[in-house]
Every structure is written in structure tokens, then in C-alpha cells.
Amino acid sequence: MPHRRPVPIARVGFVGGGQLARMMVKAARRLGCWTLVLDPTPRSPAGQVSDEQIVGAFHDPDALRQLAERVDVVTLDLEDVDTASLRQLQAEGTTVRPDPALLAVLQDKLTQKQRFADAGFPTLPFVACPEPGPEAFEAFGYPLVQKARRGGYDGRGVAILRGPESLDRMLPVPSLLERFVADAREVSVLVARGVDGDVRSYPPTEMTFRAGDNVLDLLVSPARLPERLTDRCTELARAVVDELDGVGIFGVEFFIDRDDKAWINEIAPRPHNSGHHTFEACATDQFEQHLRAVLGLPLGSTEQFVPAALVNLLGAGTGRGAPVVEGLHEALAMPGVSVHLYGKREARPGRKMGHVTVVDRDRDVAMDRARAVRATLKIGAEES
């Protein structure tokens, strides 16, 4: 007998109503789910497309309880969640995926790296650094990377310290110190894992950086890697998500050093920026895949049919206010271009306001066109 179930097939709750939740909500509704978002901003990006939104703080235990009481499964848009409240709700019978116990390990960069190291995965040498300062840095040795265990400081969670002269960059918060990799290439692999342990991975995506200032240039998929490294990163990513018993989609980030050795950097327990092209380029997009995983549905094919390049649309200019988009007609006139705007009601300099995916059978053409789009399409606050 085929499965039968009433429609909506499930009620899904999202902690956080940002762009990731917005894209997950759309996937959920397409699959026949009813959706509820918890976010402090009325008409948040996800709230605009959801059946309903609760206006409340992510960390408010009462708001989380209200969310849990109205849905069959709770999932999230951000990892900085109140795992203690979620564990309490789980103990009372709410299904939370991924598991809050895993989220608690992953939301602290130190416990996350310890977990990789304990399980024998290659991760860059590191030490705990409860009290950052010159002594701790000298003892570990420069150049080093200081990473705040949680949240960061003044919006910064990572400081590259090349020597004692860069001490002014130090983050005054409990941290870990990690070996600096010169000329690291950055690759990520999206892995979905179902309730039944089925594991599916997407082809690796490469983050490219501008020479000189090391600012993110664009994302390109499949990554330009020799087959051996593609296989190595894929195998490690699948193995680590399996080892963690993760359920949902996970972005597994790697550094590749000059000797072509792959090191696991970190894992995001949610859809990832490096997987946004899956909408246009793959059989199943990462957001639908996440929903399938957390709802216990069969996972979809991860086959990629066409190369893709992606640029983020960051708030331009210096002001904040209602967003205005410039160059949309010109961008959409280019072949293979898809524009995604996130519905944020206020533009701020540097804020992620949307992204653009470009697909083309020729990866280099997709990359060039993505740069052309970025030069053309701007979104920023309206000039007063």
C-alpha cells in the first residue's frame, strides 16, 4: 500500500526567520506543509512567506514553547539557538531536528573541533585559549588564527594574527587558537542525512577570494579540484555527518593547503550559502532536501546538471533604510541569471540582501557572468 497522509503533511516550525528560513519555508509549503516562524522582526524574510509568524526572541523560552506547541517538528535557520530550552521541549515530546545536543556541540567552535579531533578527522592543530593575550599567542606560535568559541566580538569571530604587531586585532573573549594556513583554498560539501541514516552529498563548491585583499569573490560549483581531492572532501564530509548522527542538511567547510591536504574547518547544521545554487543547478535544492530529511521523507537526488557561479548581494553604500535595487533589468537580460532577493525591509551596508546564481554549461562563462552581474546589480538604502 502506498503511504497516505492528510494535507498539510506536517506542521513545521522554524527558529529564526532570515533568508535560510525563507527558502526553507518556500520548500516546505511546496511540499504541502504548514509553516510557523519565530522571529523578533514582524514580517521577517521567512514570516512574509510563511503561513504564520510568532513575533518573539529566539532565546525566549516562552516563545519557543509557543512554537513547539503548534508544530510537529521544529528546525532552525541559525545555530545560535537556546539549546537548553530546545532540549527541555524535546524531553517533553517535541521533535527537534537537528538534535539540540548536537547543536550544543557545534555552536561552540572549541567543542566542535574537539569532536572532530576525537573522532580522528583531519582538523588544523589547535589549543583552547580561555584568556587570549600575548603569552598564550607566543606559546602557540605565530602566525595563528584566533577564533571566538561562540558568537564573536563586535561582529568579528575570527582574527588572523601574523605576529605580535597584530595584537590590536585580538578578540578579548574565550577562544581557540588554530594554525594559520597560507594560501588556503576553501571548499564546502553539502551533506544531507535522513532519519534512517541515508546520506547524500552534493558536488563540492569552491569559494574564490580576490587576490590582495582576500575578500570573497564568488562561489563556484563544481569546485575546480582534481578528482582525488573532490573524492577526499566528499568522503570526509559524508563520514563526519554520519559520525555526528546528524539529521538535516549540513555545510561541511574545508581548507585545502599548499600540499593538497584537506582539513575540516567547520560544520554548519543548516542550509549553507555554498548551496544556494542547488535551486537552479541540481535535481533537489538544499532547502527541500533539509525538509525531506527532518520530516523523515526519502531524500532526493543531489545530481548537478549544470555548473553554477554565485554572488551574494550585500547592502551597498553607507546608509540604512528601505532598499532600492539598481541594475535589475540589465542583470536579468544576461543568460542563465536568477536573482533572489530576501525581502529584508531595511538595507544596511554589508548586510546580505540577496544572491544571484548564474548557470552555464561552461563554468568559466558562469564565473565571468556572475562578476558582470555583481558589477551591475546593486542594492542599498534609498538616498534621502
10 Å CB burial of residue 208 (0-12, 13-18, 19+) is: middle
Residue with Cβ nearer ligand ADP (219 or 313)? 219
Identity of the amino acid at 165: E
| Beta carbon of residue 259, minimum distance to ligand ADP (angstroms, whole number) | 14
Place of cell 567543542: 111
Query: Least distance in Å: CB of 218 to ligand ADP?
Result: 14
Which CB atom, from 253 or from 288, has the smaller least distance to ligand ADP? 253
Residues 234-273 as x/- pattern, contact with ligand ADP by CB under 6 A:
-------------------x-----------xx-------
Q: Which residues pair with 160 in a beta bridge?
A: 145
Kindly report the length of the chain: 384
Site for ligand ADP in 124-143 (CB under 6 A): 124
* Residue with cell string 535535481: 283
Instruction: Give the one residue of 186, 206, 285, 288 binding ligand ADP; rule: CB under 6 A.
Output: 186
> Which residues from 165-184 bind ligand ADP, rule CB under 6 A?
178-181, 184
- For the bound state, the minimum distance from the C-beta of residue 227 to ligand ADP, rounded and expressed in Å, comes to 24
Closest approach, Cβ 366 to ligand ADP, in A, equals: 22
Shortest approach of ligand ADP to residue 151 CB, angstroms? 10
Q: Which residues contact 2 (CB under 8 A, 6 or more apart)?
A: none
Decide if residue 145 touches ligand ADP (CB under 6 A). yes
Nearer to ligand ADP, 178 or 360 (CB): 178
Q: Residue type for 254, please?
A: F
Per-residue mark of binding to ligand ADP, 108-127 (x: CB under 6 A) = ----------------x---
> In DSSP terms, which residues pair with 205 in a beta bridge?
188
Residue 350 has a CB neighbour count (10 Å cut-off) of: 10
Q: Least distance (Å) from ligand ADP to the CB of residue 319?
A: 25
Spell out, one character per residue from 201 to 240, where the chain touches ligand ADP: x when CB under 6 A holds, - when not. ----------------------------------------
Q: Could you tell me how many residues of this chain bind ligand ADP (CB under 6 A)?
A: 13
Q: How far is the CB of 45 from ligand ADP (least distance, A)?
A: 21
Report in angstroms how near the CB of residue 286 gets to ligand ADP at its nearest: 17
Residue 107 or residue 278: which is nearer to ligand ADP going by CB?
107
Contact indicator for 113, 51 with CB cutoff of 8 Å? no
Query: Whole-number minimum distance, CB 266 to ligand ADP, in Å?
Result: 5
Q: Which is nearer to ligand ADP, 150 or 320 (CB)?
A: 150
- The residue number whose beta carbon is nearest to ligand ADP equals 181
List of residues contacting ligand ADP (CB under 6 A) = 124, 145, 157-158, 178-181, 184, 186, 253, 265-266
